[in-house]
Structure 1
Amino acid sequence: MHQPVTLLWAIGRARRGSRRSLPWPDTAEALTALLARHVPPGSRPRPDYPVLALHRAGLWEFDDHTGDVPTAHGDSEIAAWFARHRPAGGLAAPFHDLLRRSGFARVTAVEAILLKYLGDGDGSALLEDTGLHDPAMAEDTDASIAAARAPADPAVTRAAQYERWCALLDDGAAGGGVPRRAVLRHAPLRSAAARRAVLARSGGRCENPACGGAPDDVTDRGAPLLEVDHVLDLARGGPDHPRAMVALCPNCHAVKTRGRTRESLRAVLLDVARSRHDAMGGG
């Protein structure tokens, strides 16, 4: 578990926009504490082993060292090398930059790490400790990503984004009709992807057909003031899937949650979610 914990820690830093490279004492202190909480009992929470292994795999860069590094064998040799060189470094720059900017790359990378090392086990505590647990982790943090993908017709962009996110959530059939499990199996990542899909589908507009007018104001990042809602309450067994979720302005969300007409509105919104899901090729 040493390498996945180290990778998720670095991805969490990228997601938060933290600087890529850290002095070795700072890296060692942070990783030692994290490893102590998440590696199996009896394993030593040493950060030098996973960092060295990731460096040899091309995933970690030492910024101020260009000479040879020890092999991932020999306890005393490795400890002495890190104590002597104290190499500043971090996740390799191309990976750090991609995972900082792209929500899709971030979600799929984290899921791949969890599946490889945890299978279908619960990784929630590790994701929370590394800052990768909240639903907003699937959002892009660089507007240039969306701009670079945008074709002339914005509706095409929305449909493509929606279909791509839904493809991560749905079970289906691979070639020859062989059953295929959804790409995202871990709940925090599924929730983040589902939320991102609904926001893409909405096109920045409240999905309540009777909306009296969403606020004209936007968030600090220029995003519309929309709240993603599970039409069928998640706590009561409702599906965490875009076909049963909608994007609502704060007023409509309040009506759906606390208004006298909430039951009839819930039926309308469920129909809206399903029809829009089908219309946009969500599967």
Structure 2
Amino acid sequence: MRTDVVEQGGAEAPGANGVQWLLQPRGYGKDGRDHFRHTVLGGVLLKKYADVLGEDGPRLTACFSEGEIPRFWGATPAANDWNSKAQAIRDSRVGDEVLFYNEGKFIGRATIAHKFQNEKLAARLWGRDKKTGAVWLHMIALTGFVEFEADARTVLGSINISGPLRGLTLIPAVKRLEILRDSGTPWSPRPALGGAPPPRKVKAGQAPALGERELHRAFTTLRTHTRPEGPSLHKPLALLWSLGRITRGEARLAPWAEFEDEVGRLLSEFGGRGARVTPHYPFWRLRGDIWEVKGMPEGAVDPGPETLRETDAEAGFVDEAARLLRKARVRAKAVRTLSSRYFDADVRPLVLDRVGLGGYLNASGQTVAERTDTGADGVEPPSGPVGRHAVTSTRPDRNPRLVRDVKDWHGGVCQVCSTPLEGLLGPFSEAAHIQGLGSPHEGPDHTSNMLCLCPNHHTQFDGLAIYIDPQWKVRRTRDDELLFELRLDPQHQIAEEYVEYHRLLCGKED
């Protein structure tokens, strides 16, 4: 239930004493990492939580400029009214700067745009603390988030903290100015302190190197036009369509005629109520670190369809981005980021199937049509005796010896539930690949990429309903509840990289 907004004097700007620093630990367990990744790095689509925003909705919408990604953080109630956490919650103000901390370093900063309490929203975003059952009730909306990495010792030492930052801490404006005067900003590179290294020098005419981190940041910070119904889907649909091309091994650059036809149909079908079918918008406006347009004259501004057609323009991922996206793990992360951020669960399978990425909805790589008895055209099979027709299909070759080895090592008993399933010819089990064979997952046919599972848990594992955490415990994906401990055998060496890939598909791995 929402209570009154907690703000210093009800003000909507920093007080007369100036900006303060709110030092915020990211958290020391999996929850902290996941929460930070979810609502700070990734951001939040407000429309997904419209049913619990209540009277906070209009205020929160007004906090963010057009195209800006809403980001949130929260704190559980303090144990008492006089400790440093209580003071930080009580005395921090709109306009103050938040410095996120983890393992001796500051990792990001943002400005408080709004302070409020909304128990329902907090519970939906982060659940409850597993130890105390508390909700991260004291919420802040963040604007201007910047990710960086710098040593935190100077700032912490100035307030007599010699070890790790353990709790929410407020540095008053006067002390902040003193630190700035004596040491500069805490995110400025200071090699003597082991802070962030200076930017890499780039030769004239040479583009900066694009790494996996920068590529992922481009997907998570995608600037989209915001409409009353939510963000525009033009850019996400264009990027997913282009990822489909990469997955199929097609050229990274697509000619305008093909882009106009296929992305135009996607926009017509999935663009949303009232959305205009303007494929030339993402074709041109996506230009940046990961996207390029070729064939247009220097200085061109917002060309229309006719101009793009006359110049035979092409667009797509830059060469370095395409190279990275040909790696199965990098591509899977990009697909999950775009599809989960911009498309609701009910439409996501349709969108991914339409762009040729339906295999990412499960660990086996099968599309929706392949996993159901219903044909790709949605026609239900007739009841009673049916005729037959010839079909042509391909599937990855599997080595039957490897299947036998995995089953023999575990005695035909499921590694998840340890329940023997008796059949007429003995124990019945299935050898499941952790990272699916073939496109789009490209996993190897090797025992290090296999599990011995019963049919039920094979189905759940392939359907991403369960996953294996870094401690080899089997958890339910939707709420991380512990279900089983994976039974291991020294003869069967499972490679962690394949388990990590499966966790990524489940949204549980960075």
TM-score (norm 2): 0.30
1:152-167 to 2 correspondences below 5 Å: none
Kindly, what percent of the aligned residue pairs are identical?
A: 19
Going from structure 1 to structure 2, the CA distance change for 1:53 and 1:29 (only over 3 Å counts) comes to same
Structure 2 equivalent of residue 210 of structure 1: 411
- SS for the counterpart of 2:298 is coil
State whether structure 2 residue 329 is matched by structure 1 residue 104.
yes
Structure 2 equivalent of residue 93 of structure 1: 319
- SS for the counterpart of 2:300 is coil
Give the alignment partner of residue 223 of structure 1, picking from 445, 463, 468. 445
Question: Where does the alignment leave 5 or more consecutive residues of structure 2 unmatched?
Answer: 1-232, 366-401, 413-436, 476-482, 500-507
Give the alignment partner of residue 84 of structure 1, picking from 303, 310, 318. 310
1-structure distance, mates of 2:410, 2:332: 31
Going from structure 1 to structure 2, the CA distance change for 1:274 and 1:3 (only over 3 Å counts) comes to same
2-structure distance, mates of 1:6, 1:119: 17
1-structure distance, mates of 2:357, 2:459: 25
Bigger Rg, which one = 2
- SS for the counterpart of 1:45 is coil
Structure 2 equivalent of residue 248 of structure 1: none
Structure 2 equivalent of residue 58 of structure 1: 289
8 Å Cα contact 2:283/2:315 also seen in 1: no
8 Å Cα contact 1:60/1:89 also seen in 2: yes
State whether structure 2 residue 485 is matched by structure 1 residue 276.
no
- SS for the counterpart of 2:320 is helix
Please state how far the C-alpha of 1:5 moved relative to its aligned partner: 0.5
Amino acid at match of 2:355: T
Give the alignment partner of residue 129 of structure 1, picking from 354, 362, 367. 354
TM-score (norm 1): 0.51
Amino acid at match of 1:58: D
1:4-54 Cα offsets, whole Å, 9 max, x none, are 000000011101111112221122111112221111122222210011111
1:12-27 to 2 correspondences below 5 Å: 12-27=244-259
1-structure distance, mates of 2:356, 2:290: 20
2-structure distance, mates of 1:65, 1:46: 18
Question: Where does the alignment leave 5 or more consecutive residues of structure 1 unmatched?
Answer: 72-76, 138-187, 193-202, 212-218, 246-269
1:165-244 to 2 correspondences below 5 Å: 188=361, 206=406, 208-210=409-411, 223-224=445-446, 231=454, 233=456, 239-242=465-468
Please state how far the C-alpha of 1:66 moved relative to its aligned partner: 5.2
Please state how far the C-alpha of 1:106 moved relative to its aligned partner: 1.1
2-structure distance, mates of 1:39, 1:28: 14
Amino acid at match of 1:206: V
8 Å Cα contact 1:62/1:88 also seen in 2: yes
1:60-103 Cα offsets, whole Å, 9 max, x none, are 222333512314xxxxx534432432302322221122112x11
Structure 1 equivalent of residue 339 of structure 2: 114
Root-mean-square deviation over aligned CA pairs = 4.3
2-structure distance, mates of 1:128, 1:78: 29
Higher helix share: 1
What number of residue pairs does the alignment pair up? Answer: 184
